[in-house]
Chain A
Amino acid sequence: MARIPIGVAANSPDARQVVAAVRDLERRGINAAWLTTGGAGLDGLTLLAAAAARTERVRLGTSITPTWPRHPIVATQQAQVIAQLAPGRFRVGVGPSHRPAVEGIFGFKYEAPVRNLREYVTVARRLLRDGNVDFSGKVYKAAASIARPLPDVPVMASALREASYEVCGELADGAISWVSPHAYLRDKALPALRAGAARAGRPAPPLVAHVPVCVHGDVNEVRAAVREQLATYPRSFNYQEMFAASGHPEAREGTWSNAMIDAVVVSGGEEQVAMRLRELSEWGFGELLVTVVPAGADAVGSRERALSLLAEVAKAR
């Protein structure tokens, strides 16, 4: 089978637990730890700086850091810290997030998110790779240089619809999906990513395919866990439209249908999940990013079960 890395989302509302979780993933031999920054909670980049100081091998990434609330130079200032403490291990993922958070919490006008992303990635990538940037766009202006360029820090971006995959193909070092049907990633996302890259005359960057994983035999408990833990997505306009485009217009009702769960979540017993992950790793994605969905009465045990299996899959190649 194709050897593609497996990373795991390590989020927790407790900073000490996040650092411990990243160390735990490293000890297990998982390839990467990812952190999302949402709402007004813990900042993922700052957490990764702490995790970088306490780990040796595991790759670290954000999936994602929202663009609007911090100037792209600030993101590179944070990136410098992590990359210097964890050389060759860090990838920064950025994204425009969603209208309710950007407007409701931070009070920025959520307009032209693709343009925002395009400018943000351009500024951050130039400053990190070339060591200097002189950019004047519609959203951002930036004139800065840094003493030590960091060409080994990929600047990746979140993508949901085809337009954002095209932008990623055109100018980012990778695309990171989130809660999308696997078939949509294969049939819509990858072609859009490749088309964007071809238009820019560059090789297509990797697609980090986000996959919720639930190692649990009872399908009803799996569905209950998904509906509870991933409840927010079918309620979000951007995700509803993506689901509709992938043949699930029922997402507009605001809940997970069984078909949506089957299309997005990898679940079942160990063998079944391992087989599906192996299958997915041959679809042309660069990497899998797993959100563990614990199910049943014993959440801790369920998470442990999933992490053990993921470590096995990550190592057995």
Chain B
Amino acid sequence: MTSVTMGIVARDTTAPALLDAIEQLDRRGVPAVWLTTVGAGVDGPSVLAAAATRTERIALGSSVTPTWPRHPIVLAQQAQVIAQLAPGRLRLGIGTSSRDSIEGMFGVPFHAPLANLKEYVRVLKDLLQRGKVDLDGAHYHAHATISATYPDVPVLAATLIAKSYEAAGEAADGAISWVTPLEYIQRRGLPALRAGAARANRPAPALYAHVPVCLSTSAADVRAAVSERLGFYPQLKVWRDMFVDAGFADAAEGKWSDALTDGTVAHGDEARVAKRLQAFIDAGAREILVEVVAAGPDKDKSYDRATAFVADVAKTALAGGRLG
């Protein structure tokens, strides 16, 4: 899996549309696809299982599946299906989501999320990679064995603030960032990831940088598309605090800014975007998850341009070359 360096996060609200999108990405030579499970919408891992039967090469990832509403053994049961149908292609990303969604929608108390994350990862890793789990934790009890093992299914954790990178460093096979300025990843995220790993006496896991990509040279189109897609993040306290900590003081008032666009989004023409993504790799990211932010009047065309870009630069990256 170390050779995969670029993938696309597929977004759609129905399973048939997602399945079509994944088949198309596979045909175009995009090395990896990722699905997010949002709210009460379609279940990402189930779509990945369907996609496993219709694709041959593309790596299949969840980025991410929320922890609280399903016991980790359930996700491991789903992962076994995908891993058997698509050997060597599954990456399993999980995250604690947000208090609003977990308490408001599922009625499950959102408490001690970092401990929740670590226990969840441990159950997945023990059961899938070693075939056996025995845990009586603060969040989960899990006692099970399975006959096959899946040591090639990495368990990745969504990370945002430094403490979550530390937790990922302690427990997971990788950290997935999201809408995070490169400066924050360098100054806070990666050191925390390494510190957590050192404390647990294990090598630091890989960073999977989930980066919004907006291929457009029109500043107005970029501004409109980005603020529509990401503009609400400074209204969420954890993101606001992270942005401020990263040096974006404007975010304190809950507003998106052009500075935040430059800090978190790779935008511009292909050469400029490639250069920006290369900066994430230079900082230590193993892989880029591209979140396509379609810009301009023709969103489909913008999405196609991004797909072609990813397929193209992925070839460069796979050959060991620099993106830009």
Name A's B-contacting residues (CB within 8 A). 13-16, 19, 37, 39-43, 45-47, 49-50, 52-54, 68-71, 73-74, 76-78, 80-82, 84-85, 104-108, 127, 136, 140-148
Q: When A and B form their complex, what is the total count of cross-chain residue pairs whose Cβ atoms lie within 8 Å?
A: 148
- Report A-chain residues with C-beta under 8 Å of the C-beta of B315: none
Name, among A13, A14, A40, A53, the residue most crowded by chain B CB atoms within 10 Å (CB to CB): A40
Q: Does B112 contact A (CB under 8 A)?
A: no
**CB of B148 to closest CB in A, whole Å:** 8
Q: Which residues of B contact A (CB under 8 A)?
A: 13-16, 19, 37, 39-43, 45-47, 49-54, 69-71, 73-74, 76-78, 80-82, 84-85, 104-108, 127, 136, 140-147
Question: B47 — which chain A residues lie within 8 A by C-beta?
Answer: 49, 81
Going nearest first, the 10 A-B pairs with the smallest beta carbon separation are A107-B141, A141-B107, A40-B144, A15-B84, A144-B40, A43-B77, A77-B43, A53-B50, A49-B46, A69-B71
B107 x A148 contact (CB < 8 A): no
The answer to whether B80 and A42 touch across the interface, beta carbons within 8 angstroms, is: yes
A40-B144, A107-B140 known; A77 and B37 CB under 8 Å? Answer: yes
- How many whole Å from A67's CB to the nearest CB in chain B? 11
Contact in complex: A70, B81 (CB < 8 Å): no
| Chain B residue at smallest Cβ distance from A147 | B13
Q: Point out the residues of chain B lying under 8 angstroms from A81, CB to CB.
A: 15, 42-43, 46-47, 50
- Are A104 and B143 in contact, with the CB atoms below 8 A? yes
Q: Which residue of B lies closest to A14 (CB)?
A: B84
Contact B143 A50 (CB under 8 A): no
Say yes or no: A69-B42 contact (C-beta < 8 A), given A15-B85, A106-B142. no
In the assembly, what is the distance between CA of A136 and CA of B107, in Å?
8
CB contacts (< 8 Å) of A40 on chain B: these are: 73, 76-77, 127, 144-146
Which residue among B76, B81, B108 has the maximum number of chain A CB atoms within 10 Å of its CB? Answer: B81
- Chain A, residue nearest B40 (CB): A144
Given A40-B146, A77-B37, A81-B43, 15 other A-B residues pairs in contact with their CB atoms under 8 A = A13-B147, A15-B81, A43-B74, A43-B81, A46-B46, A47-B49, A69-B71, A73-B105, A77-B41, A80-B15, A84-B42, A85-B15, A107-B136, A107-B141, A147-B41
- Least CB distance, B206 to chain A, in whole angstroms: 26
Q: Check B69–A73 contact: CB distance below 8 A.
A: yes
Cross-chain contact of B143 among A53, A105, A108 (Cβ < 8 A): A105
- Complex contact B136–A80 (CB within 8 A): no
CB-defined contacts of B15 to chain A, threshold 8 Å: 49, 80-82, 84-85
Q: Which residue of B lies closest to A107 (CB)?
A: B141
What are 15 A-B pairs with beta-carbon distances under 8 A?
Answer: A39-B144, A41-B77, A45-B46, A46-B81, A50-B81, A50-B85, A70-B69, A70-B74, A74-B69, A84-B42, A104-B143, A105-B73, A106-B73, A143-B105, A144-B39
